[in-house]
Amino acid sequence: MEIKITRPQGTEDVTPKQIYKWHTVERIARETAESFGFHETRIPTFENTNLFLRSVGETTDVVQKEMYTVTAKETQFTLRPEGTAGTIRSMLQNGLLNDALPQKVFYILSCFRHERPQKGRLREFHQFGVEMAGSQGPASDAEIISLAKTILDRAGLQNIALNINSIGCPVCRAEYHKALKAYFEPKKEELCETCQTRLEKNPMRILDCKSPICAGIAKDAPVILDYLCDDCRTHFEKLQEYLKALHIDYSINPKIVRGLDYYTKTVFEFITTDIGAQGTVCGGGRYDGLIEQMGGKPTPAMGFAMGLERLIMTMEQQGCAFEEPKGCDLYIAPMDESAVPTTMQLGQQLRVSGYQVEYDVMQRGLKAQMKYANKIGAAFVMVLGENELQDKKAKLKNMETGEQIEIALDETFEDKFDDIAVQYMFHDIVEDFEKECQ
Ligand code: HAM
């Protein structure tokens, strides 16, 4: 079949056959964040473009090359390329920073970046992210990194390397910028056009340019760690002490500068080599200046986001377990039209009690219905015909063992089904237990 309109390049469908993987990682991430005292927040999919210009930064790749922006009634809006800017905007707009600090939130959202699609790099992707506002000390950096690590551990990931760095504060950054300018100035003509302007405005951005020529030139550039002021150095050392106390292995990678402008001091990434070139599963860091820059009181903050597509891809690659979706508990097969109302009533009764029940809505014959019940993997099937309705009892067939159990179609139906279903769910355990008792 030729489909006339296909999905846009760089986007993905998640079909019902795949969704359980998403449910698994979202549940793990949500539960872990909640166990650290974080609460879920939701923000709009698009924001005023200025929000991203001011926070993510005008000289970043994200702003210069990757934003999806539309002008509607003379106002520019942009599909969020990340979650931090909108989350901080929301905290400020809703007065959350006037409540008890630190404010700790998490989010699961889609992001949009017009990048060149490749494995692990999409134009619409999804992030699980957290932000903690109001905490200055390195203990909160350790807390954030530990939260990310706990999620990755609970997802079952192995061999995922934590890289940390400090990119200093405005004080040490000024000295560092001078050193970078001195390094790149003689090679200016070889840099891409964007990096030539970055050299004047924000030379650190050259360090994460995606052009291989710029990356080659930047290879031997000075590193920020050599320029840290005392405060930033102590902060970084203390963080390492805490990571050691938490038994979190890490490497210092002085080349990590991150692709967004708001970072200060600690930055970090969790990287895998299992999914190809786009192996950064999680990235984050401290951003002590952003809240003030966005009009709030000076408030230090820190967070991270993990790419859910990359996380799931790595889990698949490493053979991690996903929770299997719940299947159909009971399929009811009415033999003819006269059995349909009772079928509906019994089905509804069990659904309200939490069972997954299906019955025929296609007026199919018994054979076709049984085929369907098999296909969907129903645990039990119950056929309802004239005799069953007259006798007010039917047979529940256990589709795994073929065993048939009689069940009354009266007020005891639900309780009896409960008993049978529980027995079914625990039959392995019961069998083991009975064996042990013999
Ligand atoms: P980021 O490093 O730009 O940081 O993105 C975080 C994660 O999103 C990446 O590590 C990656 O897993 C995933 N990701 C990014 N771009 C793509 C893409 N094109 N396709 C698939 N996955 C992608 C941020 O977004 C910051 N807001 C993180 C943060 C929160 N920092 C502090 N708080």
**Mutational pocket test of ligand 1: of 119, 160, 280, the residue with most ligand atoms within 8 Å of the beta carbon:** 280
> Rounded to an integer, what is the distance from CA 193 to the centroid of its chain?
35
Domain identity same for 388 and 421: yes
CA-closest residue to ligand 1 atom 16: 121
Compute the chain's Rg from CA coordinates.
28
Domain identity same for 309 and 375: no
Domain identity same for 293 and 360: no
- Domain assignment present for residue 57? The answer is yes
For position 420, what pLDDT does the model report? 92
DSSP state of 6: P
**Burial group, residue 436, by CB count within 10 angstroms (0-12, 13-18, 19+):** exposed
Ligand 1 near 303 CB (within 6 A): yes
**Burial group, residue 39, by CB count within 10 angstroms (0-12, 13-18, 19+):** exposed
384/380 Cα distance (integer angstroms): 13
Task: Give the pLDDT band of residue 432 (cuts 50, 70, 90).
Answer: low
Centroid of ligand 1 to alpha carbon of 383 (angstroms):
52
> Tens digits of per-residue pLDDT, 59-97?
899 999 999 999 999 999 999 999 999 999 999 999 999
- Domain assignment present for residue 220? The answer is no
Centroid of ligand 1 to alpha carbon of 125 (angstroms):
9
Across the range 245-257, mean pLDDT stands at 95
For position 425, what pLDDT does the model report? 78
Domain identity same for 363 and 308: no
Coil, strand or helix: which one is 319? Answer: coil
For position 3, what pLDDT does the model report? 81
Sheet of 330-334: strand order equals 357-359, 330-334, 380-384, 393-398, 404-408
Ligand 1 near 283 CB (within 6 A): yes
Domain identity same for 275 and 414: no
Domain containing residue 107 = 19-169+229-318
> Rounded to an integer, what is the distance from CA 16 to the centroid of its chain?
18
Domain identity same for 293 and 351: no
- Domain assignment present for residue 1? The answer is no
Q: What percent of the chain has pLDDT over 90?
A: 90
Give the global pTM.
0.93
CATH of the domain at 396: 3.40.50.800
Centroid of ligand 1 to alpha carbon of 259 (angstroms):
9
155/21 Cα distance (integer angstroms): 11
Ligand 1 near 309 CB (within 6 A): yes
Ligand 1 near 280 CB (within 6 A): yes
Each residue of 91-115: b (16+ CB within 10 Å) or e? Answer: bbeeebbeeeebbbbbbbbebbbeb
- Domain assignment present for residue 361? The answer is yes
83/107 Cα distance (integer angstroms): 8
DSSP string of 159-174? S-EEEEEE---HHHHH
